[in-house]
Structure 1
Amino acid sequence: MSDVNTKLSEQYYVKHILHTFKSEKSVLIEIEYYYPIGPQVSFRVSSWCYSQTLVTGVFYRDGSGCGTKYSAITLLTSIERRELSYKIYEEVDRVLELPNQD
């Protein structure tokens, strides 16, 4: 086997996730972080069609976080907002669980 370096290089990353609800509305989730993973991960959610910011926030390694909802969040139903929050938590957890470099 060849020696292929599969580790992420030290730099700033943005993970883009297009999430579509059953109602066919779509949002773009952007998760911003530095690797090796620092103490926090930032996120931004925007409407796919109109690029309106719906939510922004930060999650910390200790599980706490804070966010800001914008008026455009009313484009989503309460069920879609709940589904979106689960999706954000899931994706942020994946980033925070990335192994740090040795």
Structure 2
Amino acid sequence: MPPDPFVVADVMTTKVVAVLPGAVGSAHDPPDRPGRAEVRSEVVGHLFPLSAGQIHVRVDAGVVTLSGEVRDRARIPLAARLARAVEGVVDVRCALTAPDQE
């Protein structure tokens, strides 16, 4: 018989999450939501290996925000599409910029 879940409430976001004892996770990043590390590895690491340190990834309630400066402007729309493809992402806000290329 599985253990009884207990409830954790995040007073900052008013989220309530049922957690099984011994389960890994938090009220900020429930198991059905993408984590910052997932988006960073699946999107940023593949598309922008040289600029990865300048790209910021934020995930809040399934909404991913990408910000920072990248070298290749043509990859910005692809980054937004790939981020949307990560399981659990519900929306993407892309604020990536690139220097003007002549």
- TM-score bracket relative to the smaller structure: 0.3 to 0.5
Q: Which has more radius of gyration? A: 2
- Name the structure where strand makes up a greater proportion of residues: 1
Normalising by structure 1, report the TM-score: 0.38
